[in-house]
Structure 1
């Protein structure tokens, strides 16, 4: 989904092999859950890519809910 797109990495979640990319042109962001197969992934489900129209959308749909969920688990 990002092949050939001009993007830059803006965040990484190491415990889940996820990256947040920003499209250089525009306000879109893409969250990608990578695999470390080392070759072409035979399962078309991977890697999982979700595109968001803005940082605000990603923050509200992913970052805040994850912080609330994992924050409650830590208590």
Structure 2
């Protein structure tokens, strides 16, 4: 099977798993970002690293981390995929950048997906964070309105101290 066919298979898998992948922060990458990530990977790898010198294609990246999911053009220790944590530093000494070799994408996805109990905790945490952010925004707006009232009262009092009784015919 040629590399182009493999890439089509992986893209179909990514599309089919998009919901679960997005739950764990996976994002597909543009061709420009793909090229940039591969350049950074090449910059970080050095002889002795398991995937040094192997051509690859980025299937996606994970938001909030520096992890990228790679489709390897050559099998390494029975794996055709790798999850690499980029350091964004210079050339690294093996075993860095840390790399997890993956032989089966479905098994890997199942292993990283949170259990229903963990997902409930994650949702609870995210809901609490959303409520805190909403309260923070409301307090910020309230602070702005109070500041504006203070400015208006200050200007009014400053004006009133300058008022002369004769202006009103007194």
TM-score using structure 2 length:
0.35
Among 46, 53, 61, which residue is 2:96 paired with?
Answer: 46
Report the alpha carbon displacement of residue 60 of structure 1 after superposing the two structures with TM: 1.4
Among 57, 72, 82, which residue is 1:8 paired with?
Answer: 57
Report the alpha carbon displacement of residue 7 of structure 1 after superposing the two structures with TM: 1.4
Report the alpha carbon displacement of residue 13 of structure 1 after superposing the two structures with TM: 0.6
Higher helix share: 2
In structure 2, the CA distance between the partners of 1:74 and 1:53, relative to structure 1 (3 Å rule), is same
Q: Which has the larger radius of gyration?
A: 2
Report the alpha carbon displacement of residue 3 of structure 1 after superposing the two structures with TM: 1.5
Verify: 1:28 aligned to 2:28, yes or no.
no
| Cα deviations by residue, 1:53-73 (Å, 9 ceiling, x for unpaired) | 1111221122x138x746632
Residues paired across the two proteins, number: 72
After superposing the two structures, state which structure 1 stretch, 50-59 or 21-30, moved more: 21-30
Partners of 1:12 and 1:71 lie apart in 2 by: 24
Q: Is the 8 A contact 1:28 1:55 kept in 2?
A: no
TM-score using structure 1 length:
0.71
Partners of 1:41 and 1:54 lie apart in 2 by: 27
Verify: 1:59 aligned to 2:114, yes or no.
no
Q: Where in structure 2 are there 5+ consecutive unaligned residues?
A: 1-49, 125-170
